[in-house]
Amino acid sequence: MDFCSWAYGGVNGDNYEYCLESDQGVEIREIAEYAGSNAFAQHSRELETPNQSFVIGNPLQFESGLGSRIAIHEYVHIYQNANKVDENDFGLPLWLEEGSAEFLALYLSQEEGWADFRMAMAEALESAKDLQERHPGIGIQDIETSESRDALQSICDCTGMLQYETGQWATAWLVNRTSLDIFYKSYIPDIVDLGGHGSFEKHFGLTVQEFYGEFDEFMSSSTGNQLAILPIP
């Protein structure tokens, strides 16, 4: 109740009952009842005093460092959404939203000894390439928005992998083209003033459509060439 009240503007706020009975309220109760370990971020942008939060269930029952890695992932979502103004703007494409959150979580976790960044990225690459072989006509361009993701979901149970594993490698490609700082400290914040497409073109030097072509070519190259672009934490 406290979370739903805070996130949705009080007990009389819009969607308070929905939160309590059908959405995050249910999830939080299940975390408590079943000692769950799921996590999520909440972005209450429409409130008179906007707020953001993330919830992580029972992090101490994870193996060493995993709870911290999940917390980093969810906090990246807070950062992403803090640099978002117009819900109708292209903004951050969906395949970068999850992909860049997991990429940075793995990268920073390696620095703390919580994860093996290169191994995790290699596993993500294997999954992404397997998906590419099974569905050669489908790619991250098909999940730019929630609407396009939902449309794809009706014909292919692959949207999660495109968002995460393939999205991680889309992030790696863009970071390799520029740098971690440009991606996270320049591209994402500049979406506010330049819009999603404008910031993408300014910082990466190509349009989103041009990126799709170059990224598809990269994903068809050898595993050795692909792994070679990874930064060293």
Per-residue pLDDT for 88 more than 60?
no
What residues does 51 pair with on adjacent strands?
A: 44
Per-residue pLDDT for 149 more than 80?
yes
Per-residue CA distances from 210 to 127, 135, 170, 175, 188 (Å): 24, 21, 13, 16, 19
Tell me the pLDDT tens digit for each residue of 124-144. Answer: 999 999 999 999 989 999 998
Q: What per-residue confidence (pLDDT) applies to 217?
A: 96
CA distance 111 to 137: 37
> Mean pLDDT over residues 11-22, rounded?
70
Q: Are 94 and 145 in contact (CB under 8 A)?
A: yes
Per-residue pLDDT for 64 more than 90?
no
Tell me the pLDDT tens digit for each residue of 164-202. Answer: 999 999 999 999 999 999 999 999 999 999 999 999 999
Q: Structural domain boundaries of the chain?
A: 1-61, 88-227
Amino acid at 42: Q
Q: What per-residue confidence (pLDDT) applies to 30?
A: 74
pLDDT confidence of 35, banded at 50, 70, 90?
A: confident
Per-residue pLDDT for 49 more than 70?
no
Provide the mean pLDDT of the chain. Answer: 86
User: Phi first, then psi: what are they for 131, rounded to 5°?
Assistant: -60, -40
Q: What per-residue confidence (pLDDT) applies to 176?
A: 99
> Mean pLDDT over residues 24-42, rounded?
70
pLDDT confidence of 63, banded at 50, 70, 90?
A: confident
Question: What proportion of the chain, given as a percentage, has pLDDT over 90?
Answer: 55
